[in-house]
Amino acid sequence: MNAYLWVSDEVQKAVSCNRPVVALESTIISHGMPYPQNVETAVRVEKMIRENGAVPATIAILKGKLCVGIDAEQIEYLGKKGLAVPKASRRDLPVLLSRGGDGATTVTTTMIAARMAGIRVFATGGVGGVHRGAQTTMDISADLEELARTDVAVVCAGVKSILDLGLTLEYLETKGVPVIGYQMEELPAFYCRHSGFPVDYRLNTAVEIAKAIHAKAVAGLIGGMLIANPIPPEYAMPEDEMNACINRALAMANERGVKGKEITPFLLDAIKTLTEGKSLAANIQLVLNNAKLGAQIACELCKLK
């Protein structure tokens, strides 16, 4: 096994016995939500995966190792340290691992560790993408490159609505990443169910999605697959309201000179304030919804192997 990879006994056994496993990121714990909601949500997400027949594998960098399947104590540690834990993307791994440091895994690094451990499905909130104004800033999330190169299916509530959704879809098309809408022909926009942008394919069941993932693997096609699962209607936020909040949050970030890896947590926090906490509640529900679908897909995928 990779010297920088640690996998829990439960996850190792599940993978080796072809039992369903769903990977989970840790940036949502340390950077995505305040304490204690972050820890409470992480525990609820793991429970949701178990209730739907799969093994959860929360991933983080701890003491210089990519840890797959961390326990409740380690989740609590990440939650309490919060922003003090570095947000780790692919470029950060060599230094963090060599120094024996900690890190919260993004979509990118969670995909990397999941692939190393043999996990094929990963559930998260929303993926990164092409930032608004990227025509001049070239601010494009490493998540898109990882989707193009790493064979892990990512279940999410679409692309974060703070981004340029149209350009993100164009980028994914160029990289050959299939964008699947779960029971939707339109890309969901994180807090909102609708964006106005069409997905590549609509698939209506976990069975259909699992068959597509399986066919891709058997055909030897490299790269991941993006499964866009809309937030449940009862928790969705009105598009006009969210767009107004996002525009205000972007203006605040511009005024304060917030850039790079700090921009997403800043915007999410600003939007939470502007929506009086409604966006945080929606965020929690969409993550739970994605965990449920991720577990269902993982279960169906194991039947095909």
At 1 the pLDDT is 55
Residue of 87, 160, 272, 292 with catalytic role: 160
* Mean pLDDT, the chain cut into blocks of 10 residues (305 residues total): 92 98 97 91 98 98 98 98 95 96 97 98 94 76 96 94 90 97 96 94 98 97 97 92 86 84 78 86 95 98 92
Q: Which is nearest to 166 in space by CA: 188, 129, 197, 127?
A: 197
Active site residue 211: no
Residue 186, judged by CB atoms within 10 A of its CB (0-12, 13-18, 19+), counts as middle
Order of strands across the sheet that contains 225-228: 5-7, 65-68, 55-62, 21-24, 121-123, 153-156, 225-228, 179-182, 201-203
Give the model's pLDDT for residue 75: 98
Q: What residue ranges define each of the domains in the chain, with the CATH number in brackets? A: 5-304 (3.40.1790.10)
Residue 163's pLDDT is what?
85
Tell me if residue 272 is catalytic: no
